[in-house]
């Protein structure tokens, strides 16, 4: 039995209208996220991952604006909601954990006050009840001595503790959807592993769906049920995490996976394969498939036309005229 569909993004376009031209940061993406599932959105810096997440919450600043599409949350289009309606949804039904907690947290308010504020805004409780719930949340996310930490300011906590406080704030109202935007990137690997484990535990306890945004495929393998690979504002491959890692079909996905260090590559001291070239300038995108200047299998068809995102087998979609054949690196 298929789980309930929570979030459906249909042909979403978020463009930035600058003096130098139009930047199509998100250029017609389609995503589905079911209740209590984890969807990994992965790609290089500049591929539109963060803009897509900010679009869901309607937090894209000028000169960026929506240029089309739908964001259906519980069947209702968020793009048609008023700002007042969105304020009620943000924090209570959809919460977000940002990459750098020091910039997301207010330096002049204590950690306790900031978590408590979210509870007071979105839940029908008094200040005493909100404080009790805040201390419970700080304890739940593994912050030691939560009563003392309640009165501390962000600068008095380590990076890992600040990120835990951000998670406590995000999860305090039991949101249906949690957006994690590179939430562990700034942390060392030990703390990173603890934060990921914490997010998985909280997801099970609160039954929250997660949109997990990262450039790190190892984290995607650890966290996600389904994976969407983005390149220059478009989804190029979309499937279960097992399919993506066992049977990558898009040359870009294949290249990303091949560039991950392994124990074998360390032993043989072989140089890691790299994806040739650089991502194109967003002001002058190549004609046809955006990846063709870097693709070893590109043909004239790729240089002239943009491939559509098509299903090549049940649940596995790819935007490519010449998919990779299994693990041989050979074009069909």
Rounded-to-integer distance, Cα 186 and Cα 199, Å: 16
For residue 7, give the nearest of 55, 73, 64 by alpha carbon. 73
Domain that holds residue 118: 103-174
Q: State the pLDDT confidence band at 42, using cuts at 50, 70 and 90.
A: very high
Least confident span in 121-130, 257-266, 286-295:
257-266
On the question of pLDDT at 324 being above 70, the answer is yes
How many domains in the chain?
1
What's the whole-number mean pLDDT along residues 164-184? 87
On whether residue 168 sits in a domain, the answer given is yes
On whether residue 162 sits in a domain, the answer given is yes
Q: State the pLDDT confidence band at 290, using cuts at 50, 70 and 90.
A: very high
On whether residue 160 sits in a domain, the answer given is yes
C-alpha distances out from residue 232 to 24, 140, 309, Å: 8, 38, 14
On whether residue 149 sits in a domain, the answer given is yes
On whether residue 310 sits in a domain, the answer given is no
Q: State the pLDDT confidence band at 268, using cuts at 50, 70 and 90.
A: low
Q: State the pLDDT confidence band at 29, using cuts at 50, 70 and 90.
A: very high
Look at 144 and 2; give whichever has higher pLDDT.
144
On whether residue 148 sits in a domain, the answer given is yes
pLDDT of 41: 95
What's the whole-number mean pLDDT along residues 59-76? 93
Q: State the pLDDT confidence band at 329, using cuts at 50, 70 and 90.
A: very low
pLDDT of 142: 84
**pLDDT tens-digit profile of 194-239?**
888 888 887 888 888 999 998 888 889 888 999 999 999 999 999 9
With a pLDDT cut of 90, the percent of the chain lying above it is: 55
pLDDT of 274: 79
pLDDT of 28: 93
For residue 116, give the nearest of 95, 131, 104, 100 by alpha carbon. 131
pLDDT of 57: 93
β-pairing, 177-181 with 209-214?
A: parallel
pLDDT of 267: 59
pLDDT of 240: 95
On the question of pLDDT at 162 being above 60, the answer is yes
On whether residue 216 sits in a domain, the answer given is no
On the question of pLDDT at 330 being above 50, the answer is no
On the question of pLDDT at 277 being above 90, the answer is no
C-alpha distances out from residue 67 to 46, 55, 63, 232, 286, Å: 19, 11, 12, 16, 21
On whether residue 52 sits in a domain, the answer given is no
Collapsing DSSP to helix, strand or coil, 209 comes out as strand
Look at 308 and 99; give whichever has higher pLDDT.
308
């Amino acid at each position: 039995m298929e789980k309930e569909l929570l979030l459906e993004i249909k042909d979403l376009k978020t463009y930035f209208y600058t003096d130098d031209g139009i930047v199509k940061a998100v250029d017609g993406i389609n995503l589905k996220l079911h209740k209590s599932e984890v969807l990994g959105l992965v790609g290089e810096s500049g591929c539109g991952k963060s803009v897509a997440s900010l679009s869901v919450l309607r937090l894209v600043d000028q000169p960026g604006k929506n240029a089309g599409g739908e964001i259906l949350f519980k069947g209702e289009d968020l793009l048609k909601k008023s700002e007042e309606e969105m304020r009620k949804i943000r924090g209570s039904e959809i919460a977000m954990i940002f990459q750098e907690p020091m910039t997301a947290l207010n330096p002049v308010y204590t950690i306790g006050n900031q978590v408590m504020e979210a509870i007071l805004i979105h839940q029908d409780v008094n200040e005493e009840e909100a404080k009790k719930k805040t201390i419970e949340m700080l304890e739940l996310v593994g912050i030691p001595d939560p009563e003392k930490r309640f009165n501390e300011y962000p600068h008095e906590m380590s990076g890992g503790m600040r990120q835990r406080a951000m998670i406590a704030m995000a999860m305090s109202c039991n949101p249906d959807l949690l957006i994690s935007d590179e939430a562990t990137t700034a942390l060392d690997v030990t703390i990173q592993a603890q934060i990921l484990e914490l997010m998985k535990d909280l997801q099970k306890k609160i039954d929250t769906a997660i949109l997990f945004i990262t450039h790190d495929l190892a984290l995607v393998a650890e966290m996600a049920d389904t994976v969407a690979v983005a390149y220059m504002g478009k989804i190029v491959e979309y499937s279960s995490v097992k399919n993506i890692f066992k049977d990558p079909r898009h040359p870009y996905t294949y290249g990303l996976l091949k560039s991950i260090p392994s124990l074998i590559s360390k032993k043989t001291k072989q140089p890691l394969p790299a994806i040739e070239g650089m991502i194109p300038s967003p002001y002058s995108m190549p004609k046809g498939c955006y990846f063709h200047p870097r693709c070893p299998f590109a043909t004239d068809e790729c240089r002239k036309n943009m491939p559509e995102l098509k299903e090549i087998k049940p649940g596995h979609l790819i935007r490519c005229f010449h998919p990779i054949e299994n693990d041989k690196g050979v074009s069909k």
